[in-house]
Amino acid sequence: MGHVIFIGAGPGAADLITLRGARLLATADVVLFDALTDPGLRQFAPNARWVNVGKRGFADSTGQATINALLIKNANEADVVVRLKGGDPSVFGRLEEELEALAQAGIACEVVPGVTAAIAAAAATQRPLTRRGAGRSVSLATAMTREGSVHASRSADTEVFYMAGRQLAALSRRLLAAGWPGDTPASVVSRAGWPDQLHSDHSLTQLAQASVLHAGRPMVVVVGAGAKPLDDAPAALTDTRHAALQKSKP
């Protein structure tokens, strides 16, 4: 019997995986990977068998029970099985269900953390999620429950919502009802961590306007202290500028 390694692939481009994650991925015999993981990650385990177990939102293309069964089956047949998850496995990655399934089957496993989308969004916009004196707490939440209802609150200085999708108008209404002022800053980043990431700024009352720009793209919505632009912030270093600077180094 083999063992399973859960690896956080990061939120976008392949080079956002951690060094430990890349090293352990290279040991894999089988890789069960998520829909939003970068195909470039295959370079780290070119001889492994890669199995797509991706899902998008609540409409599973691969059901959770099927993924659990595949983990157990492959761990009984191979030495090292990697479960490659987008972002960080423990943040909205259904890690608990898979850990429980492996524990019940008596299969050893370990978890390698990764960069979650909220952190990538903060980096892309140069908006720290915590601010000294103004942003002492951060809440991570999904915008919509499995039952289809939108939940929002005012429980932290910075509220971050995953999987907002088409729910921006409803999310805005819920946040206003929870006591957030209408002029509260809201930052929306779609495909955070990818070269084609997009960012837009809104007041809470105008949050629904972001639906058109970010339509059909995985997005993170940051509300409150962590969405406020820094005073006199320098321009973000784009991939093109970064590459140019690298070439100019002696």
**In Å, how far are 40, 80, 141, 158, 202 from 137, measured between CA atoms?**
35, 38, 13, 6, 21
Of the candidates 53, 45, 46, 114, the residue with the CA atom closest to the CA atom of residue 86: 114
* 163 is known as an active-site residue: yes
Could you give the residue range(s) of every CATH 3.30.950.10 domain in the chain? 117-227
**Residues shown for the chain:** 250
Q: At what angle do helices 95-104 and 64-77 cross, to 10 degrees?
A: 50
Q: Which of 34, 38, 88, 157 is catalytic?
A: 34
Is the pLDDT confidence value at 25 over 70? Answer: yes
Could you give the residue range(s) of every CATH 3.40.1010.10 domain in the chain? 3-112
CATH architecture of 3-112: 3-Layer(aba) Sandwich (3.40)
* 231 is known as an active-site residue: no
Q: Which of 88, 144, 163, 219 is catalytic?
A: 163
Q: Which range, of 18-22, 150-154, 187-191, averages the lowest pLDDT?
A: 150-154
Most confident of 81-85, 133-137, 162-166: 81-85
The DSSP bridge pattern shows strands 49-52 and 30-33 to be parallel
What is the pLDDT at residue 61?
65
> Per residue in 198-246, pLDDT tens?
999 999 999 999 999 999 999 999 999 999 998 755 555 444 444 443 4
Between 61 and 164, residue with greater pLDDT: 164
The span from the first CA to the last CA of the chain, in angstroms, equals 50
Contact predicate 127/188, CB 8 Å:
no
At 232, list the tokens. Answer: 């006199």
What is the pLDDT at residue 250?
44
* Percent over 70 (pLDDT), the chain: 88
Of the candidates 55, 129, 142, 58, the residue with the CA atom closest to the CA atom of residue 92: 142
Averaged pLDDT, 183-198: 96
> What would the CATH number be for the domain defined by 117-227?
3.30.950.10
Q: Which of 29, 55, 60, 201 is catalytic?
A: 55
Averaged pLDDT, 83-104: 96
Q: What is the pTM of this model?
A: 0.86
User: Across the chain, which distance is largest between two alpha carbons, in Å?
Assistant: 57
What is the pLDDT at residue 234?
54
* 79 is known as an active-site residue: no
Mean pLDDT of the residues in the chain = 89
Averaged pLDDT, 107-133: 95
What is the pLDDT at residue 239?
46
